[in-house]
Amino acid sequence: MHGKEKDSNKKKIERTGIDLFAGCGGFSLGMKKAGFKILVAVEIDKWAAETYRFNQKGTIVMEEDIKQITPRRLLKTAGIKQRDLDILFGSPPCQGFTTISSKRSIDDPRSKLMFEFIRMVKGVQSKIFYIENVPGLFYFKDFFILLMKTLEGCGYIVRCLMMDAADYGVPQRRKRIFIQGVRKDLGFLPGFPVPTHFAPESLKTKDRMFQPAEVAVECFARNGFAKEEVKDLHWNSVLNIQMNRKTAPYVLDVAIGKLIGEGLKRHINTKH
């Protein structure tokens, strides 16, 4: 049998996902484009659920209050066993965290829905989970650290990172926090995609061998930040990345040194 025939007979591996707080399906759409089959979406709002059903054919929509759903029933609806799901993801309500609200509070009932996501993480035991929320979540750092610690207690390596949609080719500045967890028995760290786009005009310099955009890529926290680092994080407006205040000078020196070294090698190679 020829190699191509063998490949065609191989069973295609299907990656599965469940979307919590699904809204009209934006997060699910991205996951589908990444190759995941979304088995179930949970969304309490009638109109959002209806929109999801219209746009995301083939996904079961549980139009219910997540507080009334057990992990066991969620898995049964999805037709999958505990620990077999590839990714559990979602965007818990952000109204209690957003900086545009003067009444933001972790005591807002919608803020506490974050713990419903944790309950599902603990019960479903997916290989990976992803939580998306607004940057205002960082304003409640003690709450945020507790959130990461609790997720770690569910059996995961947990990392966080704030990312800007504009850095990935979206024509809009939209910063969002992502918390990613990888089940500890899988033996690898969470990973975040390195930015592909920067604002060239704001980052250009005339008297350097390299551009700040190149430095930003080298300094990007590919595995995110652990809970111990959260209080030291800040947004570097020049490099357009998030960094740890304590380690930033060292990370910058290493990145610049590497880029200078590569530049010299290219220069030498072109001369000989």
Question: Given phi > 0 = left and psi -120 to 50 = alpha, else beta, which region is 240?
Answer: left
Q: Which residue has the tokens 């500890």?
A: 184
CA end-to-end span of the chain, whole Å?
Answer: 49
Residue of 24, 94, 154, 160 marked active site: 94
C-beta atoms surrounding 121 within 10 Å: 23
Q: Of 101, 190, 92, nearest to 139 (Cα)?
A: 101
Q: Which residue has the tokens 């990345």?
A: 241
Cβ burial of 224 (10 Å; 0-12, 13-18, 19+) is buried
Q: Of 102, 186, 167, 172, nearest to 136 (Cα)?
A: 102
CA distance 136 to 177: 9
> Quick one: how far is CA 7 from the chain centroid?
32
Q: How is 67-97 classified by DSSP, letter by letter?
A: GG--HHHHHHHHT--TTT-SEEEE----TTT
Active site residue 94: yes
The catalytic site residues sit at 94
